[in-house]
Structure 1
Amino acid sequence: MYLLGIDLGTSSIKVALVEFATQKNIATAQYPEEETPIKSLKPGWAEQSPNEWWQNVQQAILKLNATGLFNPKDISAIGIAYQMHGLVVVDKDQNVLSDSIIWCDSRAVELGNQAFESIGQEKSLKHLLNSPGNFTASKLAWVKANEPEIYAQIDKIMLPGDFIAMKLTGAITTSISALSEGIFWDFEQHEISKDVMNYYGLSNNLIPEIKPLFSSHGVLKADIANQLGLSQSILVAYKSGDQPNNALSLNVLKPGEVAATAGTSGVIYGVSDDLTCDKQSRVNTFAHVTYTEAQKHTGVLLCINGTGSMYRWAKHTFAPQSTYAALNNLAATAPIGSNGLKVLAFGNGAERMLNNQYTGAQLLGIDLNMHTQADIFRAVQEGIAFSFRYGLDIMRENGMRPQVIRAGRANLFLSDVFAQTFVDVTGIPVELYENDGSVGAALGAGIGAGIFSSAEEAFKQHAPIKTLQPQNSEAYEPIYQDWKNILVKQINRK
């Protein structure tokens, strides 16, 4: 018996096949091989095509099947992880009405700020645990205000993972966790937020059926099953935003446990049993995958837009023919501190932890007679690690005190320079695991379909492959403080 996990990322679709009996990853596939572009029609805008996501999902599954390592008919359940906060709108015939306004789009920031003031900051933080900010509800309000001809045709709104589940099953569902990440959920009243819906003039009829996150979100349609070589009886049994799902994949399920990821964006995600919030909404709180009315587990999320996106830009600009592995090795030849070169990696939209400011990415202190590619690529990785430290200090202000952080050995954590710099500058050990988002989605499907009796059973063979301890914290501290001073001056100019 097998479980299929789909991870709808910003850059590509990754799928994984997990064997139930061993919880082992049998096969993986990614499509496309090159990063999917982000459409930016205006400064601060970011869009992608949901229909292109769907085509890529199908190609990824067919590529997985082509490995010949398993019988696709033996797949019992499907789980979906997806890039958070995106907006997908469809009409009554389930046709997509426009490209998705995705997570790093900044166009709705001012709308969200106005909602925060009008609803009331104290009330918003108490009930929503966040400012409406630049999240899905505000993006929908932007469509209502600026594209009324599209808004008038909307039958249902969805997060990206809801859309992929709809294409697989024909059913449109959502969950409390998904609604909370869109800032549609009132944690105090345990219902769709009247304050947000009334302020923006939105109808509850636009919201899909709310179902438990671990449950049946539909059965694979016959034509899709035939097209993909799968059984028609397969359940879509789990859907989660990528960061709660990343936490699940690392077995971060209990209060006090913390996960990190450094893909296109960078995230530190800690589980809490308090309905906690940051008064400035620099870090955000959403319903975790284990959230219920009786057990209100939340995920406190620090998101940095400009992490892997910064590294990708540097690669394409300075060394387009090199591989990431080669650049990681090159960065390791530069000294700690990159010979004084510094990078602010904030060039991928407004940063919530910087109070929704957009500072742009910066490469500072270039010495034309000294600095080399090695310095550049180490400085980029150090600058990204410094941004994690800056955000982690905000989380510490809000009472989160991680003793260890769990991360998948993927993306930037494949770089020894980045991984060790992250540990050194934060001062917190990191446990590295093989599991990734697509594997987590597969295991989530097993929980949702009742194939596993509990999350504990799904992760009973879960163990770290490596633990990193701080080694150079004293050397990095003055370098980080210099970097922080530059950032603070940049913020204060705005």
Structure 2
Amino acid sequence: MLLLGIDVGTSSIKVSVVDSQTQAVLQSAQYPESESEISSPQPGWAEQSPEMWWEHVKMAIQKLNEAGEFSSADISAIGIAYQMHGLVVVDKEQRVLRDSIIWCDSRAVKIGDDAFSAIGAEKSLARLLNSPGNFTASKLAWVKQNQPDIYSKIDKVMLPGDFIAMKLTGEITSSPSSLSEGIFWDFQNDELSEDVIRYFGFDKALFPEVKPVFSAHGYLRDDVAAMLKLSSGIPVSYKSGDQPNNALSLNVLEPGEVAATAGTSGVIYGVSDQLFRDPKSRVNTFAHVNHSSEERRLGVLLCINGTGILNRWAKTTFGAGLSYNQINHQAAEVAIGANGLRILPFGNGAERMLGNKVIGAQIHGIDFNLHQSAHMFRAVQEGIAFAFRYGLDIMRENGMSPSVIRAGKANLFQSDLFTEAFVNATNVPVELYNNDGSVGAALGAGIGAKVFGSEKEAFANVRSVKLISPDASQKYDDLYEDWKRILDEQLINK
């Protein structure tokens, strides 16, 4: 029995087919090969077309089928992972009304701050576990305030994965996990937040039917099945934001377990059974994939907007024609500390862990007679690792101190230099796994369709491929303090 996982990323769509008996990946495909564009109509804005995602999903599945490594008729369930916090709105005919306002868009910061004040800090943190901040609810409020003609036509509000499930099945559903990441969920009452809906003046009818993450969110339509060469009627049995899904793919399901990822954005994601909330909402708490009112499982998420996107920028700007392996090799030839070159990687919108401030990416200490492109490549990866350390220290302030962090050997964690910088900057060992979001989504589909007897069974054959332990933490600690001094100076001026 085979499972199909779809990962709707910011840069591309990744799809994988997994054998449920062995958890082996039979085939994976990505579309497009180059990275998808983000539209920025104004500074601080970030949008993508949901219809573009759908076209890319179709092309990725077509590539998967053309590989001929499996029989598509054997696929029995579909799971979807998706970029978090994006706003998708459709009318009664399920037509998209505007481009999605995605996760790194900063336009709704003040709207969320005003909501936090009006609802009350203590009430927001007790019930929502977060400030409304720059999340989906605030983005919907921005549309309501600034595009009333569009708002008046909205039939349903969705997150990106809900939209792809709708295109596959014709049905629109959500889950407590999805609604919590949009800051629509009241954890105290286990229901849609009356406080948020009342304050923003939303109609409850805008929100889809709420189902558990692991459940049938619809069944593949006949016409879509024929187009994709899949069997009609198979369930979409799992939908999750990319970070809870990344944690699932690494078997991070129980309190105290921690995952990390470093794609376009960077995340540390820990599981807790406590109603965790940071008083300043610098790290955020959402319902994890296995959360329920009977058994609390909350994902505590630290997000850095500018990680892989900065590394890509450095490669494009200073390493034209080079592969990522080549820039990593050049960076490794430079001594730790990049000869005094320091980079702040905050050039992709408002950063939650910096209080939703926009300070921009910055280069400090550059010497035209000393620094070459290799120094830039190293300073970029070290700067990203230091940003992870800064965020992890916030999590530590709030009582979450991991003894080990699990990560997929993907994106920046494919770089030995970055992995070593991350381990030494945070002083926490990292276990690497050959896994990614689309594989996690496929395994989630198997859990949701009850192909597996339990969540534990879904990961019976998943093994770590490498453990990296700190070996230069004091040296990186000294460098981090210098990097943090520069960051603190910038924050004082904002």
TM range (shorter): over 0.9
Match of 2:392 in 1: 392
Q: Distance in 2 between matches of 1:111 and 1:148?
A: 16
Q: C-alpha offsets along residues 284-319 of structure 1, whole Å, 9 cap, x if unaligned?
A: 000000100111110000000000011111111111
Q: Which runs of 5+ in 1 are unaligned?
A: none
Match of 2:127 in 1: 127
Contact 1:76 1:233 in 2 (8 A): no
Calculate the aligned-residue CA RMSD, in Å: 0.5
Are 1:317 and 2:298 an aligned pair?
no
Q: Which amino acid aligns with 1:399?
A: G
393-402 or 316-325: which moved more? Answer: 316-325
Contact 1:38 1:46 in 2 (8 A): yes
Match of 1:473 in 2: 473
Q: Distance in 2 between matches of 1:405 and 1:103?
A: 24
Query: SS of the counterpart of 1:93?
Result: coil
Match of 2:203 in 1: 203
Query: SS of the counterpart of 2:464?
Result: coil
Q: Which amino acid aligns with 1:351?
A: E
How is 1:404-419 mapped onto 2 (pairs within 5 angstroms)? Answer: 404-419=404-419
- Residue-pair matches, total: 494
Q: Which runs of 5+ in 2 are unaligned?
A: none
Are 1:450 and 2:463 an aligned pair?
no
Q: Distance in 1 between matches of 2:360 and 2:274?
A: 34
How is 1:88-127 mapped onto 2 (pairs within 5 angstroms)? Answer: 88-127=88-127
- Identical aligned residues as a percent: 66
How is 1:139-154 mapped onto 2 (pairs within 5 angstroms)? Answer: 139-154=139-154
Match of 1:168 in 2: 168
Q: Which amino acid aligns with 2:406?
A: R
Residue 226 (structure 1) shift: 0.3
Instruction: Give every structure 1 segment of 4 or more consecutive aligned residues whose post-TM-superposition deviation is greater than 4 Å.
Output: none
Residue 320 (structure 1) shift: 2.4
Contact 1:287 1:299 in 2 (8 A): yes
Contact 1:38 1:48 in 2 (8 A): yes
Match of 2:189 in 1: 189
Are 1:136 and 2:136 an aligned pair?
yes
Q: C-alpha offsets along residues 267-287 of structure 1, whole Å, 9 cap, x if unaligned?
A: 000000001100000000000
Match of 2:41 in 1: 41
How is 1:316-465 mapped onto 2 (pairs within 5 angstroms)? Answer: 316-465=316-465
Q: Distance in 1 between matches of 2:233 and 2:97?
A: 30
Match of 2:224 in 1: 224
Q: Distance in 1 between matches of 2:261 and 2:40?
A: 25
Query: SS of the counterpart of 1:259?
Result: strand
Match of 2:84 in 1: 84
Q: C-alpha offsets along residues 25-60 of structure 1, whole Å, 9 cap, x if unaligned?
A: 111000000000100000100000000000000000
Q: C-alpha offsets along residues 151-209 of structure 1, whole Å, 9 cap, x if unaligned?
A: 00000000000000000000000000000000000000111000000000001100000
Query: SS of the counterpart of 2:54?
Result: helix
Q: Distance in 2 between matches of 1:320 and 1:208?
A: 46
Q: Which amino acid aligns with 1:157?
A: V
Q: Distance in 2 between matches of 1:13 and 1:330?
A: 29
Q: Distance in 1 between matches of 2:474 and 2:213?
A: 44
Q: Distance in 1 between matches of 2:190 and 2:68?
A: 46
Match of 1:6 in 2: 6
Q: C-alpha offsets along residues 52-99 of structure 1, whole Å, 9 cap, x if unaligned?
A: 000000000000111100011110000000000000000000000000
Q: C-alpha offsets along residues 403-432 of structure 1, whole Å, 9 cap, x if unaligned?
A: 000000000000000000000010000000
Q: Distance in 1 between matches of 2:251 and 2:79?
A: 16
Contact 1:338 1:376 in 2 (8 A): yes
Query: SS of the counterpart of 2:244?
Result: helix
Q: Distance in 2 between matches of 1:317 and 1:327?
A: 12
322-331 or 215-224: which moved more? Answer: 322-331
Contact 1:78 1:442 in 2 (8 A): yes
Contact 1:127 1:188 in 2 (8 A): yes
Q: Distance in 2 between matches of 1:318 and 1:435?
A: 30
Match of 2:246 in 1: 246
Q: Distance in 2 between matches of 1:347 and 1:26?
A: 37
TM-score (norm 1): 1.00
